[in-house]
Amino acid sequence: MINPETQTIIAQCTPRGSGAIALLRLSGPEALNIATKLSRLPNNKTIDAVPTHTIHAGHVIDQDNSVVDHVMFLIMHGPRTFTGEDVVEITSHNNQFIVQDIIALAIKHGARLAREGEFCKRAVMNDKMDLIQAEAINELIHANTQLALKQSLAQVKGSLSQWIINIEQDLLKALAFCQASFEFIDEEDMEFGDQIKDIINNTSVTIDQLKISFDQQQRIRQGIRIAIIGSVNAGKSSLFNALLQKDRAIVTHIAGTTRDVIEAGMYKEQNYWTLIDTAGLRNTDNIIEQEGIERSLKEAQSADIILLVIDASREMNAQEKNIYQKIANEHPDKIITIFNKSDLPNITDFTCKKAINVSTTENVNIAHVEQAIEQKIEQLLSSIASPFLLNKRQFNLLLNVEQKLQQTLPLFTNNIAYELLSIHLQDAIAELSALTGKSVSEDAMDKVFREFCVGK
């Protein structure tokens, strides 16, 4: 019976679709043997006989000895590979008929199709990296900002892993003090309660600092959410289209045209912007419009930046003033105020010293709006002190560590219960081990790698 966990696996590692080249990876104990069976090299060479870490031009051949494609073979013997196993990477032409034929041949010769993230999982299981580094690779692939890219790359190299190791070493030191204290409890000079408490307090502060920045880190990971908020016919959809430089939202003179939230993304100045066009703010009896307005207010709450759009060509009514002022008071640091329709006479009575006068119909000062957004983004990202990017799993495990440490504080009385203190410290260290994958369960490991693409 073949063990699927050690069976040789294959997958396409490059994106699917037409293109110049595709990369397929074979990894496992039979990688060299399988690649030998489906290949033909010049001068009667065979893949299982050529030196490791060499590249060879050749052909993939089917079982009738017909050429499937002209390819390049990269041969790497374990353990000096990404997975720690024997690996053969095949660079073929990126036609899906060719790719699927090569995969089918490998499967006929004994391989199986890789599962999500299985190459990274094998790298973790073979001690080529820890779980945090593997997760950082996934973050690196999906980074939506330059800052996310840099921090993910640093975590692939082990920056967060080393931070966890340092905390673990401190807690192991506290555990050693604890065990020494109850072993030599009758000797007055062998009391380490103060040292243990200091370590626990310092560790809690360190974790708390990283935990506080978790919400801000989502801006780095997911990109910047920019909500365009304003009353009906203020020109929100026109501004939305102008920033995107294409007609994504429907624009008419009919009040309430936009009744739901519309999102569109774009890469701009090394960051990913998600622009959100929202329903106009006004009193209405229309149930659909009311729901759209409610969603608009929720978007203002969750957005990183708010473009507050005002129709400068007319006066506001009392209801509009109240809504605008409420948003301005609740989100003062998020707002960029836009006076739209500057091509018409300005008669608005809403005052804002830093408002940008814009005409979406004449394409006036759209660049100034973009510059203001970029300045806001720079302020947002510069306020994030943490050098790490935590995902939800890591964040929750750090919360568990912090909770275990907090449970120790009531034990620091005149007669410290060192045995009980040791148990809490051991629990906290176990949570840290789950972070890096040292003691994580198989189910938890599988859950992590299900978030990966098949070829990684």
Could you tell me if residue 455 is inside a domain? no
Contact assessment for residue 386 and residue 163, using Cβ atoms and an 8 Å cutoff: no
Positions of E strands within 180-231: 224-230
Quote the CA–CA distance of 20 and 11 in Å, as a whole number. Answer: 18
Could you tell me if residue 265 is inside a domain? yes
Report whether the peptide linkage leading into residue 15 is cis, meaning its omega lies within 30 degrees of zero.
no
Hunting for tokens 């009385």 — which residue is that? 413
For residues 26 and 75, state if they share a domain.
Answer: yes
Beta pairing, strands 54-61 & 271-277 = unpaired
Quote the CA–CA distance of 359 and 236 in Å, as a whole number. Answer: 11
Number of domains in the chain: 3
pLDDT digits 0-9 by tens, 353-397: 788 988 888 888 889 999 998 888 888 777 665 677 778 888 888
Residue 62: burial class (beta carbons within 10 Å; 0-12, 13-18, 19+): middle
Quote the CA–CA distance of 279 and 299 in Å, as a whole number. Answer: 10
Cα 126–Cα 132–Cα 135 angle in degrees, nearest 5? 95
Cα 219–Cα 265–Cα 340 angle in degrees, nearest 5? 95
Structure tokens at 196: 């243990």
Q: Pick from 330, 356, 382: which residue ends a domain?
A: 382
Residue ranges in the chain modelled with pLDDT below 70: 1-2, 182-191, 215-221, 247-260, 281-294, 296, 349, 383-386
What's the CATH code of the domain at 352?
3.40.50.300
For residues 309 and 224, state if they share a domain.
Answer: yes
Beta pairing, strands 9-12 & 112-113 = parallel
For residues 81 and 169, state if they share a domain.
Answer: no
Quote the CA–CA distance of 48 and 382 in Å, as a whole number. Answer: 52
For residues 97 and 163, state if they share a domain.
Answer: no
Could you tell me if residue 129 is inside a domain? no
For residues 153 and 265, state if they share a domain.
Answer: no
Q: Angle, nearest 10°, between helix axes 366-382 and 214-222? A: 140
Quote the CA–CA distance of 27 and 151 in Å, as a whole number. Answer: 28
Structure confidence at residue 256 (pLDDT):
44
Structure confidence at residue 252 (pLDDT):
41
Structure confidence at residue 153 (pLDDT):
85
Taken in order 311, 317, 320, 321, is the CA torsion positive or negative?
A: positive
Structure confidence at residue 188 (pLDDT):
55
For residues 265 and 315, state if they share a domain.
Answer: yes
What's the CATH code of the domain at 75?
3.30.1360.120
Contact assessment for residue 234 and residue 241, using Cβ atoms and an 8 Å cutoff: no
For residues 244 and 377, state if they share a domain.
Answer: yes
Quote the CA–CA distance of 112 and 101 in Å, as a whole number. Answer: 14
Cα 139–Cα 140–Cα 142 angle in degrees, nearest 5? 65
Model pTM score: 0.72
338: containing domain = 220-382
Could you tell me if residue 456 is inside a domain? no
Could you tell me if residue 272 is inside a domain? yes
Could you tell me if residue 2 is inside a domain? no
For residues 272 and 377, state if they share a domain.
Answer: yes
Structure tokens at 88: 């053969």
Quote the CA–CA distance of 105 and 38 in Å, as a whole number. Answer: 7
